Amino acid sequence: ETGVTQSPTHLIKTRGQQVTLRCSSQSGHNTVSWYQQALGQGPQFIFQYYREEENGRGNFPPRFSGLQFPNYSSELNVNALELDDSALYLCASGWSRIHYEQYFGPGTRLTVT
Amino acid sequence: AQKVTQAQTEISVVEKEDVTLDCVYETRDTTYYLFWYKQPPSGELVFLIRRNSFDEQNEISGRYSWNFQKSTSSFNFTITASQVVDSAVYFCALSGFMDSNYQLIWGAGTKLIIKP
What pLDDT tens digit does each residue of chain B (116 aa) get? 889 999 999 999 999 999 999 999 999 888 899 999 999 988 889 999 999 898 888 888 899 999 999 999 999 999 999 999 999 999 999 988 877 777 889 999 999 999 99
For A32-49, the pLDDT digits (tens) are 999 999 998 999 999 999
Q: With an 8 Å Cβ cutoff, are B93 and A42 in contact?
A: yes
What residues of A are in contact with residue B109 (Cβ under 8 Å)?
41-42
Return mean pLDDT, chain A. 92
Contact with chain A for residue B58, Cβ under 8 A? no
Nearest CA in chain A to B10: A40
Q: If 0-12 CB within 10 Å is exposed, 13-18 middle and 19+ buried, where does residue A10 land?
A: exposed
**Bridge partners of residue B12, in order along the sequence:** B113
At residue B83, the pLDDT reads 96
Can you tell me the distance from the alpha carbon of A30 to that of B5, in angstroms, rounded to the nearest whole number? Answer: 30
Residue A1 pLDDT > 60, yes or no?
A: no
Nearest CA in chain B to A5: B44
Q: If 0-12 CB within 10 Å is exposed, 13-18 middle and 19+ buried, where does residue A96 land?
A: exposed
Can you tell me the distance from the alpha carbon of B96 to that of B89, in angstroms, rounded to the nearest whole number? Answer: 22
For strands A44-50 and A31-37, give the pairing. Answer: antiparallel
For A67-95, the pLDDT digits (tens) are 999 888 999 999 999 999 999 999 999 88
**Bridge partners of residue B98, in order along the sequence:** B101
What residues of B are in contact with residue A41 (Cβ under 8 Å)?
108-109
Helix (H, G, I), strand (E, B) or coil at A29: coil
Contact with chain A for residue B102, Cβ under 8 A? yes
Q: With an 8 Å Cβ cutoff, are B47 and A101 in contact?
A: yes
Can you tell me the distance from the alpha carbon of A56 to that of A43, in angstroms, rounded to the nearest whole number? Answer: 16
What residues of B are in contact with residue A59 (Cβ under 8 Å)?
99
CA–chain centroid gap for B115, Å, is 21
Q: If 0-12 CB within 10 Å is exposed, 13-18 middle and 19+ buried, where does residue B70 land?
A: exposed
- Provide long-range contacts, Cβ within 8 A and 24+ apart, for B44-52: B44/A104, B44/A105, B44/A106, B44/A107, B45/A43, B45/A90, B45/A92, B45/A104, B45/B91, B46/A104, B47/A101, B47/A102, B47/A103, B47/A104, B48/B77, B50/A100, B50/A101, B51/B75, B52/A99
At residue B19, the pLDDT reads 97
Q: For B108, which of A41, A100, A102 is closest by C-beta distance?
A: A41
What residues of A are in contact with residue B7 (Cβ under 8 Å)?
none
What residues of B are in contact with residue A101 (Cβ under 8 Å)?
35, 47, 50
Can you tell me the distance from the alpha carbon of B82 to that of B63, in angstroms, rounded to the nearest whole number? Answer: 8
Nearest CA in chain B to A58: B99
Can you tell me the distance from the alpha carbon of B107 to that of B34, in angstroms, rounded to the nearest whole number? Answer: 11
B6: closest CA of chain A, how far (Å):
10
